[in-house]
Amino acid sequence: MTRKQKVTIEDVAKKAGVGIATVSRAINDSGGISPKTKAQILQVIEEMGFTPNTSAQSLKVRQTYQIALAVPDIRNAIIPEIAWSVEQTAKQHGYRVVQINTTGNARTELETVREVKKLHVDGLIIMPLAYPKTLVELINKASVPVSIINYGKKLDDHVKADVVGLASQEGRLVMEHLIKIGRTRIAYAGAPKNKIEERYFAYEQSLPQVDPSLVFFGEDFSFETGLRAADYFYSLKHMPDAIYAVNDMVAIGIVNRFKELGIRVPEDVAVVGIDNNLWSTVTSPQISSVSIMGDEVARLATELLLKRIRDHGTGEYERVQFEPRLIVRESSVAVIRQPPSMTKRVR
C-alpha cells in the first residue's frame, strides 16, 4: 500500500489556474482577490483535500510575492524589453515587479542593494552599470536573494548571486566586422569610460594603436550622446570611415545627425551599435547591431531568482552565459569606396 502524496499549495495553484500568491490570499482571507476567484480556490482546496501547514503558512505570509528590478536607465530602448521579460516571467509564478531606475549611479546601485528590504520584496534582480567597488560585498550580505544581469564586466567568482550574461565580448564582434569590411579609421562613441568599460576595451584591444581623436566619451548612453558624437567626428579634419557605438541609441543619434549633415551611411561612414533594440530596425538606414539576448537573459535571471526564493536561498549559485550575435543591416554593408579616407565636408 503506497502512501498518498501530500497536496501542496503549488498543486492547488496549478489546478485553480492561479499563482501561489493568489492561493495564499484566499487562505488568509487577504485583499486583492475577487470573490469569484476566492470561491474557486476554496472549492479546489476542498476537492483536493489540501490542509495548510501552519508553520509553512506563517512563512508564506511573510513573503510579499514581489521582486525588485533595478535597471540603469529606463530611457534606453533595450531596458523596456528586459523589464517586460522580467515582469511576464514573474507574473507566471504569481509575483509582481517593483522597478527601480538607478541611472547607472554608483551610490544608487549600492543603496538599492543595502536597503532592498525596505522595498518589501522577496528578491532583487539588478543590472549594474557603475559597478562600485563594494557592490559585490553588499550583494553577499543582502537580506534577500539576488540575481545579476551582467553586461560588460568580469565579476568576482565568489559573488553570492545567480549571474546571467554573455559568453563573449560583444564589442569584439563589432570591431571584427568593421575591420573585415575594410574600414581603417574606426572611431568609438560611448558613455563615460568607466561605464560598461569592457566595450571600450574591445575597441582598444582590436587596434594596433588607438588614435585619441577618434574616441568620443559622452555623458550617457542616449540619443543625444549620439548627436554630440556625430558633431564631434564631423568637426575633425579627417573623419572616421566607421564608428563603433557603445549602444544602439548612440548609433541612431549618430546616423540621424549625419543625415542632416549630408554624410552618407554606410558609403562614407559605417555605423554599428550594440543591443539590437527595436529602434535599430525602424531607422533609415537600419542599424547593424550586436544582439545581447536581452529577452532570454532577463527571463532566465528571473527564473533563477524565483527558484532561489522558493528554495530559501539554498543551492549553488548559477553562472549562465549566452552568445551575442551580430546582425548586419544597411548601416554597415560592404560598399565600394573611393580612397583616400574622406575629409570633412565644407558646410
pLDDT at 305 over 80: yes
The pLDDT of residue 338: 53
- Residue 127 CB partners (closer than 8 Å, separation 6+): 69, 70, 71, 72, 82, 148, 149, 150, 151
Residue 196: all three cell numbers together:
560598461
Beta partners for 189? 216, 245
Query: 139-159, pLDDT tens digit by residue?
Result: 999 999 999 999 877 777 789
pLDDT at 55: 43
pLDDT at 213: 97
Cell numbers at 315, concatenated: 543551492
Instruction: Reply yes or no on whether the pLDDT at 60 is more than 80.
Output: no
Residue 36's pLDDT is 86
**pLDDT (mean) for 148-175:** 89
Which has more pLDDT, 341 or 107? 107
Question: Which has the higher per-residue pLDDT, 35 or 17?
Answer: 17
Of 160, 168, 117, 164, nearest in space to 140 by CA: 160
- Report, at the CATH architecture level, how domain 66-168+293-324 is classified: 3-Layer(aba) Sandwich (3.40)
Grid cell locating 186: 574606426
pLDDT over threshold 90, residue 233: yes
Q: What is the rounded CA–CA span in Å between residue 270 and residue 266?
A: 4
DSSP 212: G
Secondary structure (3-state) at 199: helix
The SS3 of residue 207 is coil
Q: Which fold has domain 170-291+328-332?
A: Rossmann fold (3.40.50)
Q: Which of 130, 133, 250 is nearest to 195 (CA)?
A: 130
Instruction: Give the Å distances, CA to CA, from 237 to 60, 203, 245, 259.
Output: 66, 22, 20, 19
The model's confidence at residue 35, banded by pLDDT at 50, 70 and 90, is confident
pLDDT surpassing 50 at residue 323: yes
Helix (H) or strand (E) holding 148: strand 146-150
CA–CA distances in Å: residue 288 to residues 155, 191, 278: 28, 19, 12
> Omega of the bond prior to 285 within 30 degrees of 0, cis?
yes
pLDDT of residue 304: 97
Q: Enter the pTM of the model.
A: 0.76
Give me the CATH topology for the region 9-62. 434 Repressor (Amino-terminal Domain) (1.10.260)
**Residues 82-88: what's their mean pLDDT?**
96
Residue 61 has pLDDT above 70, yes or no: no
Position 140 scores a pLDDT of 94
Q: What is the mean pLDDT of residues 293-313?
A: 94
Task: Check residues 2 and 305 and name the one with the higher pLDDT.
Answer: 305
Q: Does the structure show a pLDDT above 90 at 38?
A: no
Q: Where are the domains of the chain?
A: 9-62, 66-168+293-324, 170-291+328-332
Q: Which pLDDT belongs to residue 31? A: 60
Report the C-alpha gap between 320 and 38 in whole angstroms: 39
Owner of C-alpha cell 549630408: 262
20-34, 160-174, 311-325: the lowest-pLDDT one: 20-34
Looking at residue 313, its amino acid is G
Could you tell me the pLDDT band of residue 165, with boundaries at 50, 70 and 90?
very high
* Coil, helix or strand at residue 228: helix
Instruction: Please tell me the chain's helix, strand, coil percentages from 3-state DSSP, rounded to the nearest 5.
Output: 40, 15, 40
Over residues 170-177, the mean pLDDT reads 96
The per-residue pLDDT for range 90-139, each reduced to its tens digit, is 999 989 999 999 988 889 999 999 999 889 999 999 999 888 889 999 99
**pLDDT for 1:** 40
Residue 325 clears pLDDT 70, i.e. is over it: yes
pLDDT in tens, 174-228: 999 999 999 999 999 998 877 788 899 999 999 999 999 999 999 888 999 999 9
Q: Identify any residues that bridge with 327 across adjacent strands, giving them in sequence order.
A: 289
- Scanning 143-247, the segments in alpha helix (DSSP H) are 170-180, 197-205, 223-235
Long-range contacts of 118-123 (CB under 8 A, 24+ apart): 119/66, 119/68, 120/64, 120/66, 121/64, 121/66, 121/67, 121/68, 122/63, 122/64, 122/65, 122/66, 122/67, 122/95, 122/309, 123/67, 123/68, 123/147, 123/305, 123/306, 123/308, 123/309
Query: Same CATH fold, 170-291+328-332 and 66-168+293-324?
Result: yes
Handedness of CA 97, 297, 62, 72 (dihedral sign): negative
336 contacts: CB under 8 Å, gap ≥ 6: none
